[in-house]
Structure 1
């Protein structure tokens, strides 16, 4: 049997509920209008007559309501447009009802004023719930009856939620507003076929290309796509950018929702261009902010590398949670000055101390820990620029391995409750010194954690993630400088891919991992691997940044491939084959089982590594690092430079070489070595 197709508006579940509500209200209106007109005298009207009139008007209302487009609107955004549609529908229902009732009853029992009373009643019974729901959601009456103004620059909104409604309302209220929405694209598709203040929800992102090709617009076609949500999936934004470019539409975004809610003024209503963060972002991960606040509030916190990209954002977010005291530690005087100045201006009453010190200085770090007795330590200090560490491997060893060990040991001595070690995706099958040194730091923390926990001492948490957008030495600032200079944009290889994350999101998840690491015994000693989404081709990122600048790749700005640098891989990994995934109660991250050796044996091996590094024995230190991290494959160029440095040292000219060998000679070959992973 062939199914009867429902009207388009009835295919939306909420529209069906609203339709049934309205028909029910219309049915109730007939006996109610009679009662309001006749009062207690309604007793002379037969019950059959009341039922017949009620059923007849319900039928007329159903026909009228399905004819007038009054179910495209969303109750959450009820406005004057919806009231106009209701008035039209009720008027049509009355005009159908009165003649039909006259044919059936000659209107002998119905006073002539009843249809007029009923008209007012139905409008109130249909419009009242809508506007009451709107007021309950908004918690104020302002702008409930905002109406549409004159057309300006036509735009197509992406996202059918609060931000879109607020933008449409403000643009309709202001006669001089610069934009007018001609349509809405719904990411989820649940509101397709409906309206917000008369603006239709046309389709989904997947259908956008076809809509722009085939749709005939009532007025001018859209000239711009506007993202309405503050956070949107990066893949979706990249797709929208491609579609916009194909149809000659620029891509922009709205101001933040907080700005929209406070009322758009002319200078603040200007839409913003999208940034590279929008292209790579992901939907907001649900965060347990109450637990994060409970972790930090009222406690003494120390952040190493406090002036760096990750460290400074950690400081900002920690300060927002109200610690009792914060200690900022950094080896860079200028970076430390900047973050200290910022916190002083932001939180005048917060007790804080700026410590200029190097994590490689064991005496300095022990003194700081014992003097300030922090309860939480976030260890973000590191050398992380791959080519720089490749050229200066001993500095990488001393900072990333020896320095991390010094901080971890000092935390235990000072009775710190929890230390959080910031790690990197480059530790997985490392091909560079930076990755291998950070892997060795992970291994020491993992070996130390169970021993310390068993003694009721410091807990250790390791958090691993990929590239942070905008961090010093990262690709995005490099591309921005090259764009400003007119190009070319340099990419090492056409197939290079990387994981990217905004610094804000990375730090939020670091704090979330810290909560789980301190509260959940099942997560003890595990590595928290942040969800980085899908890897992005660096060359695609370069092309998209050129598009964002309003230019054409390979025409206005050239992309140049320079070849892989020493220690650079085509792609990064977040988990090693031997690191099994484990469940965690925290969204946005995965737990990885640790790969660590015996703490005593590893400590002896690290003692030897520190002696080699401080003694400037570059080749011997690299060989020992390779033995400790067997999956590390040193770059031949790095080893060749180490050998050249050794030759210069043997010839008495070590002073001109970076990280040259100490003339004292190598450590005995029978010194103990413990591998951290097999």
Structure 2
């Protein structure tokens, strides 16, 4: 610290001397040899006054908070402000004391340019000298820098190149840039050429291979390149040429400050989504949540806990956390206590299956907005325990929805899944039933419905959530492999946890304004589905290993209830755009409330008694796309087919068809 202070004092002393010399030098430049005819006392007085003014101005504008070695345009701007104030102040003082009778009117302007040159030039000279000494030191030490090829020719690329050229500590040397657009090809950035566009990436690497540089050691993504749809293809190209695939720190990381600002990080899986991540309209969400009582079920889970974090940041009047898992609830409660100690909150151990418990909680806290995230989501486990999946995912949703009606909750948001579309497993079917119930409540006639808006949000797999494939692959990698994939052709839609939660919040805000009128469902445009085998291969490559050589990828076969691909929309749910980019609406397939209520009562009886055969039969009748083996039970609701809203049904066993495919 004392060393820093000493250096700033030296710099301050240098600038004071320059300020003192600037006035007589400016006068000399104006009148030449005629300066000898000016009164020495006037020159001495003016120079002394200006020195005092300049000292105060320099310190006020913070000229000594920067480091000369890294002098930049910002430093030059501060110098210009400080010099301008000092020269103007001197001009005013001389006018008041001498009426400027003896001084040429152009002298202050000359002094301004002169002092700018003296202060700015010395800093520039120091920086050039240090950069040259750094380069000489690297040569003397025999330092070999890793060659880097950048993808992207924007501000981040410029900052990175500038830092690598002036720092002795960074081991990187940029040898070329590949741009995302044609407009920058042929230009250069700090003498580093923009060689081609990304469409010619492989050809560019081949040309570099034949040059004195050789094949770059790293392929580094900057800025928008991280969200480019072809970055998975770039990873394959980098692998073919033995290059490490990496990214620069995010701007948020740079703002928070890194121990090594030039640390090049491996590309994260979320960087390979091939699309921009969804963005939240924070002002509208703040208007919705701020000052209101909010309740979250499943608050300790991956989605639920992230919901709690983001909701807490918007200043709700109170926040109630409900979860059946003691440890998960404890963990998120402690996190809220540390981050938001003044936020009124209540953590409730409770199972959404328990109707009495849920009703009691709602009566006590009287929530205004409810986010229902509690669910069983692991497909094989629910497939082997179908009654438990129905009790939690389906009947638990009914319990929460009815509690919302009774408590006059303004908005309830159900978190669903793409597995609810043409479900091939119990988990997907249980969520489709939950969707149906909320849609039925949303479409009740005005004389029967409460004030509650029922909003359903459907999205795909969440990267990094408990039970998802990414944590599984990470554990398998740490164990040395193999990485297990159930089928070479299996694909999934992916999104980040932050994206999922932002979609939920944005949907809640849109839904409370009536966008989901008629039982429509929100769906995120998730781009292209990702092959799981490609994801496994990418994770191996990003770990610096070779698929098939260092780590094996093993195909194990499809699990019970697992589909090769998932869908976001049913064929009878044509997507509709919304005012929010990337958020769409699925046209509803609505079942009559009285009928679905009757079916749910039958489901409750079968699931509670663990009568799996009856439970599966009831599911297959409400969700005809789901057909478990050996289910051929005649519909027990044939007589009620006419009660279904929409077109009449000829086949009472197919309730979803009888419901009609659009509202």
- Shorter-chain TM-score tier: 0.7 to 0.9
Corresponding position of 1:257 = 251
More divergent stretch after superposition (518-527 vs 402-411): 518-527
> Is the 1:430–1:632 Cα contact (8 Å) retained in structure 2?
yes
Relative to structure 1, is the Cα distance of residues 333 and 145 closer, same or farther in structure 2, using a 3 angstrom cutoff? farther
> Is the 1:330–1:355 Cα contact (8 Å) retained in structure 2?
yes
What is the distance in 2 between the residues matched to 1:291 and 1:504? 17
What is the distance in 2 between the residues matched to 1:203 and 1:377? 52
Corresponding position of 2:49 = none
Corresponding position of 2:106 = none
What is the distance in 1 between the residues matched to 2:380 and 2:170? 51
Corresponding position of 1:459 = 453
> Is the 1:362–1:406 Cα contact (8 Å) retained in structure 2?
yes
Q: Secondary structure at the match of 1:190?
A: helix
Corresponding position of 2:484 = 490
Relative to structure 1, is the Cα distance of residues 264 and 398 closer, same or farther in structure 2, using a 3 angstrom cutoff? closer
Corresponding position of 1:309 = 302
Corresponding position of 1:326 = 319
Instruction: Please list the CA deviations of residues 445-499 of structure 1 after superposition, one character each: whole Å capped at 9, or x if unmatched.
Output: 0110122777460001111011111222211111111222222221111111111
Q: Runs of 5+ in structure 2 lacking a partner? A: 1-28, 32-70, 77-109, 121-126, 139-144, 645-654, 659-663
Corresponding position of 1:619 = 613
> Is the 1:418–1:459 Cα contact (8 Å) retained in structure 2?
yes
Corresponding position of 1:15 = none
> Is the 2:457–2:522 Cα contact (8 Å) retained in structure 1?
yes
Relative to structure 1, is the Cα distance of residues 521 and 542 closer, same or farther in structure 2, using a 3 angstrom cutoff? closer
Corresponding position of 1:529 = 523
What is the distance in 1 between the residues matched to 2:248 and 2:637? 64
* Aligned 1:233-312 pairs, distance under 5 A: 233=227, 235-261=229-255, 265-266=259-260, 268-280=261-273, 282-312=275-305
Residue 287 (structure 1) shift = 3.1
> Is the 2:293–2:316 Cα contact (8 Å) retained in structure 1?
yes
Residue 160 (structure 1) shift = 2.0
Residue 383 (structure 1) shift = 0.7
Relative to structure 1, is the Cα distance of residues 504 and 189 closer, same or farther in structure 2, using a 3 angstrom cutoff? farther
Relative to structure 1, is the Cα distance of residues 262 and 352 closer, same or farther in structure 2, using a 3 angstrom cutoff? closer
Instruction: Please list the CA deviations of residues 6-28 of structure 1 after superposition, one character each: whole Å capped at 9, or x if unmatched.
Output: xxxxxxxxxxxxxxxxxxxxxxx
Structure 2 residue corresponding to 1:358, chosen from 351, 371, 378: 351
Relative to structure 1, is the Cα distance of residues 677 and 341 closer, same or farther in structure 2, using a 3 angstrom cutoff? farther
What is the distance in 2 between the residues matched to 1:213 and 1:232? 23
More divergent stretch after superposition (510-519 vs 360-369): 510-519
Q: Secondary structure at the match of 1:232?
A: helix
> Is the 2:405–2:450 Cα contact (8 Å) retained in structure 1?
no
Q: Secondary structure at the match of 1:451?
A: coil
Instruction: Please list the CA deviations of residues 286-313 of structure 1 after superposition, one character each: whole Å capped at 9, or x if unmatched.
Output: 4322112211112111111111111111
Residue 507 (structure 1) shift = 1.1
> Is the 2:355–2:399 Cα contact (8 Å) retained in structure 1?
yes
What is the distance in 2 between the residues matched to 1:315 and 1:262? 23
* Aligned 1:181-196 pairs, distance under 5 A: 181-196=174-189
Relative to structure 1, is the Cα distance of residues 200 and 633 closer, same or farther in structure 2, using a 3 angstrom cutoff? same
Relative to structure 1, is the Cα distance of residues 537 and 436 closer, same or farther in structure 2, using a 3 angstrom cutoff? same
Residue 194 (structure 1) shift = 2.4
Relative to structure 1, is the Cα distance of residues 194 and 668 closer, same or farther in structure 2, using a 3 angstrom cutoff? closer
Residue 223 (structure 1) shift = 1.4
Corresponding position of 1:346 = 339
Structure 1 residue corresponding to 2:164, chosen from 165, 171, 174: 171
CA RMSD of aligned residues (A): 3.2
Residue 407 (structure 1) shift = 0.4
Residue 147 (structure 1) shift = 6.8
Corresponding position of 1:118 = none
Instruction: Please list the CA deviations of residues 511-566 of structure 1 after superposition, one character each: whole Å capped at 9, or x if unmatched.
Output: 11112111244655210111111111111111111212222222222222211111
TM-score normalised according to structure 1 size: 0.71
What is the distance in 2 between the residues matched to 1:165 and 1:206? 21
What is the distance in 1 between the residues matched to 2:425 and 2:257? 52
Instruction: Please list the CA deviations of residues 395-453 of structure 1 after superposition, one character each: whole Å capped at 9, or x if unmatched.
Output: 01111110001101101111111011000111111111111111011011011012277
Corresponding position of 2:37 = none
Residue 79 (structure 1) shift = 7.5
What is the distance in 1 between the residues matched to 2:354 and 2:502? 30
More divergent stretch after superposition (234-243 vs 568-577): 234-243
Structure 2 residue corresponding to 1:550, chosen from 529, 544, 555: 544
Corresponding position of 2:652 = none
Residue 157 (structure 1) shift = 1.7
What is the distance in 2 between the residues matched to 1:201 and 1:523? 52
Q: Runs of 5+ in structure 1 lacking a partner? A: 1-35, 39-77, 84-120, 132-142, 644-665
* Aligned 1:412-451 pairs, distance under 5 A: 412-451=405-444
Q: Does 1:210 align with 2:203?
A: yes
> Is the 2:518–2:588 Cα contact (8 Å) retained in structure 1?
no
Corresponding position of 2:598 = 604
Relative to structure 1, is the Cα distance of residues 452 and 298 closer, same or farther in structure 2, using a 3 angstrom cutoff? farther
* Aligned 1:395-414 pairs, distance under 5 A: 395-414=388-407
TM-score normalised according to structure 2 size: 0.73
Relative to structure 1, is the Cα distance of residues 415 and 450 closer, same or farther in structure 2, using a 3 angstrom cutoff? same
What is the distance in 2 between the residues matched to 1:670 and 1:599? 16
Instruction: Please list the CA deviations of residues 141-187 of structure 1 after superposition, one character each: whole Å capped at 9, or x if unmatched.
Output: xx999978647322122222222222223323323222222222222
Relative to structure 1, is the Cα distance of residues 399 and 225 closer, same or farther in structure 2, using a 3 angstrom cutoff? same
More divergent stretch after superposition (446-455 vs 158-167): 446-455
Q: Secondary structure at the match of 2:182?
A: coil
Corresponding position of 1:137 = none
> Is the 1:452–1:459 Cα contact (8 Å) retained in structure 2?
no
> Is the 1:324–1:350 Cα contact (8 Å) retained in structure 2?
yes
Corresponding position of 2:496 = 502
> Is the 2:577–2:584 Cα contact (8 Å) retained in structure 1?
yes
Relative to structure 1, is the Cα distance of residues 372 and 237 closer, same or farther in structure 2, using a 3 angstrom cutoff? same
> Is the 1:449–1:459 Cα contact (8 Å) retained in structure 2?
yes
Relative to structure 1, is the Cα distance of residues 144 and 309 closer, same or farther in structure 2, using a 3 angstrom cutoff? farther
What is the distance in 2 between the residues matched to 1:434 and 1:37? 87
Residue 235 (structure 1) shift = 3.6
Residue 672 (structure 1) shift = 5.7
* Aligned 1:125-144 pairs, distance under 5 A: none
More divergent stretch after superposition (390-399 vs 282-291): 282-291
Corresponding position of 1:633 = 627
> Is the 2:148–2:175 Cα contact (8 Å) retained in structure 1?
yes
Relative to structure 1, is the Cα distance of residues 297 and 488 closer, same or farther in structure 2, using a 3 angstrom cutoff? same
